[in-house]
A and B are shown apart, each in its own frame.
Chain A
């Protein structure tokens, strides 16, 4: 491991508990390099995660880290950000976490344009619970809960976030890590709700070698920044509203 990224990791808790060849390890590595490049202030950055294999990422990062309930990383991060807008908030979620059980929160955080960075690790199944189908499992895929092939259409996480009002949305794969690194830097420095969808791998549940699981990502084309624009950020709007309300006279009922 590069000496310069060690300070961003809880090295005493490594090696990690993920399966050999799991995409989460690669993302952890990329994120540590992003921290180094951004000189991210470890004491002013809070990292929040949900439940699932992706949720364990917070355990290995040397920051204030919060491992929340399944699907609830975004509302917890929203509470932290609103009460301490000066903090950087980075939220790691899986596909089940962000668009199944926590789908509602993702939509509304994007709608508010609150300054969080959501990094969604999409491995297209529920890995930790044994490989069940998720909202991003391709149709006809056989999983533990779709033994005859999945009959449900998939959801496009990035397009969902765009239509809900996210002001920065990008999509990358683990095969193209350099692009992912650049994208993470762009997302974290963006003001407003930013989302990165990372097409990850789950060699164990996919029953593939790690090499093959990565290799099939090579041809994925629609990578890169899908949307990026500026819109008033939510915490700033709340601050503005607070100042406005102090000037207004209302009948005090309490």
Chain B
């Protein structure tokens, strides 16, 4: 059955269907709708909804809940994500699975709270100090918002990492007619180890050995961090899709909402007899480097990176393109870009 569903509702349905039974959050535009829905839904399903005193408390509460065996998440926007950064590193080093939904608004600081953006990409990938693993996903449509949110819980659990789902303000507030699995609460039974079951383990944000006890040996530190960072570099995590020509001359590398304009652009360009293709990143981090490099080497002459920021994924693409071909950045701040603008800019 087709339903008219909003992005934030798709997040909630995916979370509930994935067995999410704990939400802690703090009100912030434009992510509050997710909290509103969960405040209504979770108590009915026997889960926990709590509004904490700030975003720092929210993320620490979901870490605590996850440590005790819950499947937990929070939802926020840019300023909240900044406040959560220290705890994201803590979740990563303590290997606690959590899911963070970040509905991106125009930044920095308070920015323009009601305008869309893709400005949190680098903050999501690299925002906490030190080297640590985090997975960052970015859906382009309502249906993908459902599936990537669902997937976020699976990845978090499988790799014991924090997973951030970057949704922009438009996708969160936009309605689309979609066919989604109906709401069905799955009772979540963790297969990982968690506290309160007689393990008598120590958990710490200090660098620690397998017994959980802190250590300060540079050699072991190196090994631990290397292993920790490496574990997410798995093809199963790095999700992407290609569209258009298989060996395009003009290649768009996109993610999130801008994929939609780029998709329309390549079909228009193909109609005009041009060779155009599209890479759509579902996983922004870890960046699917090898896969994109392989496509570039098949004869791409020009790469277009349209983003609603000053070029945050652009740098990754430039690094991979490594002077093999031209890389052009198209920037549109707080406003969507049209397919025609993309075509015009890419033909310059």
Q: Flag if B53 contacts A108 (CB, 8 Å).
A: yes
Range of interface residues on B (Cβ < 8 Å): 35 or more
Indicate whether A15 reaches chain B with its CB closer than 8 angstroms.
Answer: no
Q: Which of A43, A75, A84, A246 contacts B69 (CB 8 A)?
A: A84
A-contact 0/1 string along B7-48, CB 8 Å cutoff: 001001100100001101000000000000100110110101
Contacts of A74 in B (CB 8 A): 57
Indicate whether B87 reaches chain A with its CB closer than 8 angstroms.
Answer: yes
Q: Flag if B204 contacts A80 (CB, 8 Å).
A: no
Indicate whether B50 reaches chain A with its CB closer than 8 angstroms.
Answer: yes
Q: Flag if A76 contacts B60 (CB, 8 Å).
A: yes
Indicate whether B327 reaches chain A with its CB closer than 8 angstroms.
Answer: no
Q: Flag if A83 contacts B69 (CB, 8 Å).
A: yes
Q: Flag if B62 contacts A79 (CB, 8 Å).
A: yes
Q: Flag if A72 contacts B37 (CB, 8 Å).
A: no
Q: Which of B37, B61, B62, B66 has the most CB of A within 10 A?
A: B61
**Min C-beta distance of B93 to chain A, whole Å:** 10
A63-B60 contact in complex given A68-B205, A83-B69, A83-B70, C-beta closer than 8 Å:
no
Contacts of B40 in A (CB 8 A): 245, 250, 253
Q: Flag if A68 contacts B60 (CB, 8 Å).
A: yes
A105-B53 contact in complex given A69-B60, A254-B13, C-beta closer than 8 Å:
yes
Q: Which of B57, B199, B203, B213 contacts A105 (CB 8 A)?
A: B57
Q: Flag if B60 contacts A254 (CB, 8 Å).
A: no
In the complex, chain B residues 184-239 whose Cβ is within 8 Å of any chain A Cβ:
195-206, 213-214
- Which chain B residue lies CB-closest to A44? B196
Q: Which of B57, B62, B196, B202 contacts A104 (CB 8 A)?
A: B57
Indicate whether B90 reaches chain A with its CB closer than 8 angstroms.
Answer: yes
Contacts of B289 in A (CB 8 A): none
Q: Flag if B57 contacts A43 (CB, 8 Å).
A: no
Indicate whether B142 reaches chain A with its CB closer than 8 angstroms.
Answer: no
A254-B43 contact in complex given A69-B60, A84-B69, A104-B57, C-beta closer than 8 Å:
no
In the complex, chain A residues 5-42 whose Cβ is within 8 Å of any chain B Cβ:
10, 13, 42
Could you tell me which A residues sit within 8 Å of B by CB distance?
A: 10, 13, 42-44, 46, 48, 58-59, 62-69, 72, 74-84, 87, 104-105, 107-108, 238, 241-242, 244-246, 250, 252-254
Q: Which of A64, A76, A82 has the most CB of B within 10 A?
A: A76
Bound complex: CA A65 to CA B211 (Å): 12
Q: Flag if B65 contacts A83 (CB, 8 Å).
A: yes
Q: Flag if A59 contacts B214 (CB, 8 Å).
A: yes
Q: Flag if A82 contacts B22 (CB, 8 Å).
A: yes
26 CB-based A-B contacts, threshold 8 Å: A43-B196, A44-B196, A58-B204, A59-B214, A64-B197, A66-B67, A66-B202, A69-B60, A69-B86, A72-B56, A75-B52, A75-B60, A75-B61, A75-B64, A76-B61, A77-B64, A78-B64, A79-B60, A79-B72, A80-B67, A82-B50, A84-B196, A87-B68, A104-B57, A242-B43, A242-B44
Q: Flag if A67 contacts B204 (CB, 8 Å).
A: yes
Contacts of A69 in B (CB 8 A): 60, 86-87, 90, 205
Bound complex: CA A75 to CA B54 (Å): 10
Bound complex: CA A238 to CA B54 (Å): 19
Contacts of B9 in A (CB 8 A): 253-254
- Which chain A residue lies CB-closest to B64? A79
The 3 A-B residue pairs with the shortest CB-CB distance, nearest first, are A79-B64, A43-B198, A75-B60
A13-B48 contact in complex given A254-B9, A254-B37, C-beta closer than 8 Å:
no
Contacts of B16 in A (CB 8 A): 254
Q: Flag if B64 contacts A62 (CB, 8 Å).
A: no
A67-B200 contact in complex given A59-B213, A79-B64, C-beta closer than 8 Å:
no
- Which chain A residue lies CB-closest to B183? A254
Contacts of A87 in B (CB 8 A): 68, 196
Q: Flag if B62 contacts A253 (CB, 8 Å).
A: no
Indicate whether B63 reaches chain A with its CB closer than 8 angstroms.
Answer: yes
Contacts of B203 in A (CB 8 A): 64-67
Bound complex: CA A77 to CA B12 (Å): 25
Contacts of A10 in B (CB 8 A): 202
**Min C-beta distance of B80 to chain A, whole Å:** 14
- Which chain B residue lies CB-closest to A241? B43
Q: Which of A44, A67, A79, A250 contacts B63 (CB 8 A)?
A: A79
Q: Which of A48, A62, A252 contacts B200 (CB 8 A)?
A: A62
Contacts of B214 in A (CB 8 A): 59
Q: Which of A65, A82, A246 contacts B44 (CB 8 A)?
A: A246
Bound complex: CA A31 to CA B291 (Å): 56
Q: Flag if A76 contacts B67 (CB, 8 Å).
A: yes
Bound complex: CA A166 to CA B206 (Å): 31
- Which chain B residue lies CB-closest to A48? B64
Q: Which of A43, A65, A72, A108 contacts B197 (CB 8 A)?
A: A43
Bound complex: CA A42 to CA B196 (Å): 9
Bound complex: CA A42 to CA B199 (Å): 10
Bound complex: CA A82 to CA B61 (Å): 9
Contacts of A62 in B (CB 8 A): 200
- Which chain A residue lies CB-closest to B71? A83
Bound complex: CA A76 to CA B63 (Å): 6
Q: Flag if A83 contacts B57 (CB, 8 Å).
A: no
Q: A79-B70, A238-B50 are in contact. List 16 more A-B contacts (CB 8 A).
A: A48-B64, A59-B213, A59-B214, A65-B201, A66-B64, A67-B202, A68-B90, A68-B205, A69-B86, A74-B57, A75-B57, A79-B24, A80-B68, A241-B43, A252-B183, A254-B12
Q: Flag if A238 contacts B48 (CB, 8 Å).
A: yes
- Which chain B residue lies CB-closest to A60? B202
